[in-house]
Structure 1
Amino acid sequence: MKAILNVIWLLLCGLWLAIGYVLAGIVCCILIITIPFGIASFRMASYALWPFGRTVVRKPNAGAMSMIGNVIWIVLAGWWLAIGHIAAGIAMCITIIGIPLGIASFKMVPISLLPLGAQIVSTDAPITAGYAAPQTY
Structure 2
Amino acid sequence: MSVIGNILWIIFGGWFTALLWLLFGILACLSIVGLPWGRACFVMAGFAFMPFGYESVSREVLYGKKDLGTGLPGMLGNAVWFVLAGFWIALGHVAAAAALALTIVGLPFAWQHIKLAELALFPIGKTVVPCETAAEARRRRAAEDLNRRRNDA
The TM-score, its normalising length taken from structure 1, stands at 0.85
Which residue type is aligned with residue 14 of structure 2? G
Runs of 4+ with deviation above 6 angstroms: none
Q: Please name the residue that 2:102 is paired with.
A: 94
Extract unaligned runs of 5+ from structure 1: 131-137
Distance 2:16 2:33 in 1: 26
The 5 Å alignment of 1:1-137 reads: 1-58=1-58, 59-60=60-61, 61=66, 62-125=70-133, 126-127=136-137, 128-129=140-141
Extract unaligned runs of 5+ from structure 2: 143-153
Moved more, 116-125 or 48-57: 116-125
Is the contact between residue 55 and residue 115 of structure 2 (CA under 8 Å) also seen in structure 1? no
Moved more, 73-82 or 44-53: 73-82
Number of residue pairs matched by the alignment: 130
Task: Give CA deviations for 1:47-100 in whole Å, capped at 9, x if unaligned.
Answer: 011011111112253111111000111223222321221122122112111111
Distance 1:46 1:23 in 2: 12
Q: Please name the residue that 2:147 is paired with.
A: none
Aligned alpha-carbon RMSD (Å): 1.7
Q: Name the SS for the 2:93 alignment partner.
A: helix
The TM-score, its normalising length taken from structure 2, stands at 0.77
Relative to its length, the structure with more helix (as a share) is: 2
Distance 2:28 2:85 in 1: 9
Larger Rg: 2
Is the contact between residue 40 and residue 123 of structure 2 (CA under 8 Å) also seen in structure 1? yes
Q: Structure 1 residues 23, 75: CA separation in 2 closer, same or farther (over 3 Å shift)?
A: farther
Moved more, 101-110 or 55-64: 55-64
Is the contact between residue 53 and residue 123 of structure 1 (CA under 8 Å) also seen in structure 2? yes
Which residue type is aligned with residue 21 of structure 2? Y
